[in-house]
Structure 1
Amino acid sequence: MLTLRKYTIKIVKTFHKKRNFLIPQYLLGGISMFVMFGMLYYLSFLIEETYKIDGFFKGATFLFPLGAMTITSYWTGKRLKTNREELNGLLFLGNILMIGCFFVLVWFHSFSFLLFFITLAFGSMGFILPSINTAVTSSVPDSERGFVVSLYGTCRFLGVALGPVVFERWMDEPQTVFIYSVLILFASFLFFVFSNRKEFFSLFKSFRLGQR
């Protein structure tokens, strides 16, 4: 049986060895939750204060984005394996779609556009979050998984906690909400791609060969 000291040393060595893989995953998961809960807070404020929708109809509005995320998460979880190419492919697809949705909303943010593209963006998160969960849990042996997954959970909950607080400061100007969302999502995704550039290069290479 491992002592606490030996277990701590083992965890530190594992994290140091896997840091280039785990840190971008943590950041991507935390930023996704940050944007998701910040956007839910913004949408709740907008529906109630601007469009004067309350009660049942306000709750029904959230059915679209959250329902889209639930459906895509279920689909992703059912077909997902620990194959790194598949994980990276779904992460790439989800992030590109989500960044694209918020980029469109910078220019067009009427209520109909807002609801449609936020629904699409939340659906994209259904590709991202299960993929990160699988990647993180399968990256280390069972004996070290508890600490690694707990740290990932901490990053996610930080995103959940900070999202509404930060988005509240941006809500005076709707365009600002989407500009900052695009910049944050793009920066975290760029960091993730750069950290896994060899794997993404192999993914694009196999994709191009598959088209021929």
Structure 2
Amino acid sequence: MENYEQAKDTVSRWCIVSMASIPLVMTLGNSMLIPVLPILERKVGITSFQSSMIITSYSVAAVFLIPVAGYLSDRFGRKMVILPSLILALIGGLIAGFASWKLSDPYTWIIIGRILQGIGAAGAMPIILPLVGDLYKDDDEKTSSCLGIIETSNTFGKVLSPILGSVFAAFIWFLPFFSIAIFSLVSIVLIFFFVKVPKEKDDPLKMKEFLRNTKSTFKEEGPWLFTIFLNGIFVMLVLFSILFFLSENLEKAHDIKGIKKGFVLAIPLLLLCIASFISGRNIKGNLATMKKIMIVSIIILSISTGFVGITSDMLILLLVVTSFVGISIGILLPVLDAIITENTKKEERGTISSFYSSARFIGVAAGPPIMSLVMNDYLNLSFITASGIGLILLLIVIKHIKVENIEN
């Protein structure tokens, strides 16, 4: 718990736990449903593509509203945006769960509940990144360390998700929806009591000034910012495509179902979580080191992704390949978080980090439906294409992530 010791002089342990609860809860709110999708298809009578929209509807809502939440958090305060957003996520979980329990044709109401959850996610999860920056001000090392904890909480949620989702669904198939509401309530209580946001000395920017400054930031810093955004889209697209594919493949090709499937799905995600924790502890705000880590991670991610389809019928090899995917993504995510948070002005941090979070949700939204459309006829081609895109992204990183330009 060295990271906690590094932070204790400015931020309490419970404050860090409270902030880390948000990515954990929001990740559970989405990823926990992935192993349950085949069950939903049978219980609700929907297609694979329709079940993928249960994930996508959550993410699409977040994509469009995250930048708005970022501005509001810069304008009115982080906590004033986070708490109402968590309440919306709670209500969305109740709607989806109640519809599944009581209605004979619940699909439309499930989607409505998921959209509300997505709106809640838009106002909660992305705001944590600038909040960490606010709490630690100009201490890049402590910021990186705390962001590592936050991203590890996110990835730990991904580890727990398939297990909890499978366990809950084994009792009652729609229980995962209700559990999301309960987890949101816990996070609301933690944030309300333990997160103390620093008081602002300066008046928040007016809309016109804010828009002018944001436009100027993208004009001056655009190349490296958009490079980070593209990385965020790509890694989440690959991750959620693979998770959706594995959930279907483990049942159809390997006859692994229920709680056992949840534990198998958790293997690459556990390695992702461990890699994220180690990465967050060791980057220490050093941009030159972070660029090297990005390059190595993208190379490993691109190569391993190309073999996912090829090994789809060989369970052990498939888990080895997807574990390499998980490790590379786990290393990369804290680096992306830190570069964004540490290298943007405080008054614009909420908005810029929100655009980055929105980019990540684009990948989450696109992954499952794309995979549902291509996995029957174009499985190998799709993963090889993704591998090629990763290598192109590598060239963009080498060209546009320039240490001297970003740090100045």
Scaled by the length of structure 2, what TM-score is found?
Answer: 0.47
* Structure-1 separation of matches of 2:396 and 2:304: 20
| Alignment correspondent of 1:142 | 346
Q: Of 56, 79, 83, which aligns to 2:286? A: 83
User: 8-17 or 156-165: which moved more?
Assistant: 8-17
What amino acid sits opposite 1:45 in the alignment?
Answer: E
Q: Of 211, 217, 224, which aligns to 1:8? A: 211
SS at match of 1:123: helix
* Structure-2 separation of matches of 1:4 and 1:105: 47
Give aligned-pair identity as a percent. Answer: 25
Q: C-alpha deviations, 1:148-197, integer Å up to 9, x for none?
A: 0000011001110100111112201431232122122222222222223x
Q: Considering only aligned residues, what root-mean-square deviation do their CA atoms show, in Å?
A: 1.7
The question of whether the paired residues in 1 share the 8 Å contact of 2:251 and 2:257 is answered with: yes
SS at match of 1:93: helix
The question of whether the paired residues in 1 share the 8 Å contact of 2:299 and 2:390 is answered with: no
Q: Of 330, 335, 338, which aligns to 1:126? A: 330
| Alignment correspondent of 1:48 | 251
SS at match of 1:21: helix
* Structure-2 separation of matches of 1:190 and 1:31: 14
* Structure-2 separation of matches of 1:19 and 1:72: 29
* Structure-1 separation of matches of 2:331 and 2:242: 18
Structure 1 residue 119, shift from structure 2 partner: 0.8
**Bigger relative contact order, structure 1 or 2 (CA pairs below 8 A, ≥6 apart):** 1
* Structure-2 separation of matches of 1:167 and 1:184: 16
**Larger helix percent:** 1
Determine if the alignment matches structure 1 residue 187 to structure 2 residue 392: yes
Q: Gapped runs of 5+ residues in structure 1?
A: 201-212
1:55–1:139 Cα change, 3 Å: same
Compare CA radii of gyration and give the structure with the larger one.
Answer: 2
What amino acid sits opposite 1:58 in the alignment?
Answer: K
The question of whether the paired residues in 2 share the 8 Å contact of 1:37 and 1:160 is answered with: yes
* Structure-2 separation of matches of 1:144 and 1:114: 42
Determine if the alignment matches structure 1 residue 67 to structure 2 residue 270: yes
* Structure-1 separation of matches of 2:342 and 2:391: 26
The question of whether the paired residues in 2 share the 8 Å contact of 1:69 and 1:123 is answered with: yes
The question of whether the paired residues in 2 share the 8 Å contact of 1:28 and 1:189 is answered with: no
Q: Gapped runs of 5+ residues in structure 2?
A: 1-202
What amino acid sits opposite 2:219 in the alignment?
Answer: H
| Alignment correspondent of 2:21 | none
* Structure-2 separation of matches of 1:157 and 1:34: 9
Q: C-alpha deviations, 1:90-137, integer Å up to 9, x for none?
A: 111111111121234465442211111101111111111110000011
* Structure-1 separation of matches of 2:284 and 2:308: 33
User: 3-12 or 24-33: which moved more?
Assistant: 3-12
User: 107-116 or 138-147: which moved more?
Assistant: 107-116
Determine if the alignment matches structure 1 residue 112 to structure 2 residue 316: yes
SS at match of 2:306: helix
| Alignment correspondent of 1:151 | 355
1:161–1:57 Cα change, 3 Å: same
1:174–1:3 Cα change, 3 Å: closer
Q: Of 237, 254, 275, which aligns to 1:34? A: 237
* Structure-1 separation of matches of 2:354 and 2:403: 26
Aligned residues: 199
1:66–1:113 Cα change, 3 Å: same
Scaled by the length of structure 1, what TM-score is found?
Answer: 0.88
* Structure-2 separation of matches of 1:61 and 1:186: 29
